[in-house]
Amino acid sequence: MDPAKPAVAVGALVRTTRGRWSITTDPYLRVGLGNREAGNRDALVVPVWLGVRLGGSVELAVHTGIDGDLAVWRDGWHIPLGLGVEVTPSRAIAFGIEAGFTSLLGPQNTGDQRSVTVFASWRGR
């Protein structure tokens, strides 16, 4: 069993749109609070989604960015690559799916790690 890896993260969500195109990023700095000797290292994560609205409520996005441990940045980073679709039937509701590789490029890459994420969100006033 892996040890617990408590951490605190500080970041910001930024989204900009122009016409039907969008760029979204959610960069954050993660600081390990315990079990650092077990691999709970400080890391910088900068995910980026490049999106295009296909219709009134459907957006297609490519997910990439960079993710890496600060202690071994030169050799410890990787780049994810995924493709997602989001449907927003109203201003308050969104749902979608994203699939891809969590670590496709970079010194710490492996094409073996894949992920599929299904999500739903509700936005209040």
pLDDT tens figures, 53-85 = 998 899 999 999 999 888 888 887 889 999 999
| Residue reference for tokens 């989204």 | 15
| Residue reference for tokens 């997602």 | 84
Coil, helix or strand at residue 37:
helix
State the residue range of the domain holding 52. Answer: 7-122
Where are the extended beta strands (E) located within the chain? Answer: 7-11, 14-18, 21-25, 28-32, 43-53, 58-69, 77-87, 93-105, 114-122
Is there a domain that residue 2 lies in?
no
- The tokens for 42 are 């400080």
| Domains of the chain: total | 1
Is there a domain that residue 42 lies in?
yes
Q: What digits encode the pLDDT tens for the residues 78-112?
A: 899 999 999 999 989 999 999 999 888 887 667 78
